Amino acid sequence: NAGVTQTPKFRVLKTGQSMTLLCAQDMNHEYMYWYRQDPGMGLRLIHYSVGEGTTAKGEVPDGYNVSRLKKQNFLLGLESAAPSQTSVYFCASSYRQGGEQFFGPGTRLTVL
C-alpha cells in the first residue's frame, strides 16, 4: 500500500495564480484532512471531509476550497494565490472518528 500520497511535491506560483493540490489514499479511510505547517506554528487544519461528497471548514479555511468527489481523493484548491499561502501543505486520513491520522509527504508551495 502506498498510504497517503500528495502531488505535486513542490510548486512555485505567482500572486493571483490558481492551482490544485491532489491527495490520494489507498487505505479506504472515510476521513481526510488538509493542514498547513508554518515555521514556529503547529500544524493547522484547513478543511476536512468525513466521507465522499462531504467537506467542512477547519481552523484556517479562508482562501482555500476543497472537494471530495471520490472516497480516495481529496483536492485542495487555491483560486487566487497570495504570499501568505506560502507554506508546506499536508494531507492526512483516518479510518475512524478520533482515530490516529496518517499523513502524506507534503507539498511545499511558494507564492511570489
Q: Are strands 56-57 and 64-67 parallel, antiparallel or unpaired?
A: unpaired
Q: Determine the Cα–Cα distance for residues 13 and 18; give it in Å rounded to an integer.
A: 8
Question: Which lies closer to another protein via its Cβ, residue 17 or residue 37?
Answer: 37
Q: How far is the CB of 8 from another protein (least distance, A)?
A: 14
Contact flag: residue 93 with another protein (CB under 8 A): no
Count of C-beta atoms within a 10 Å radius of residue 107: 22
Compute how many residues bind another protein; rule: CB under 8 A. 25
Contact flag: residue 64 with another protein (CB under 8 A): no
User: Counting every residue, how long is the chain?
Assistant: 112
Long-range contacts at 48-54 (CB < 8 A, ≥ 24 apart): 49/74
CA distances from 49 to 9, 35, 39, 61 (A): 22, 12, 26, 13
Q: How far is the CB of 59 from another protein (least distance, A)?
A: 7
Question: Which lies closer to another protein via its Cβ, residue 32 or residue 111?
Answer: 32
Contact flag: residue 97 with another protein (CB under 8 A): yes
Residues at the site binding another protein, with contacts judged by CB under 8 A: 4, 31, 33, 40-45, 48, 50, 56, 58-59, 90, 92, 97-98, 100-106
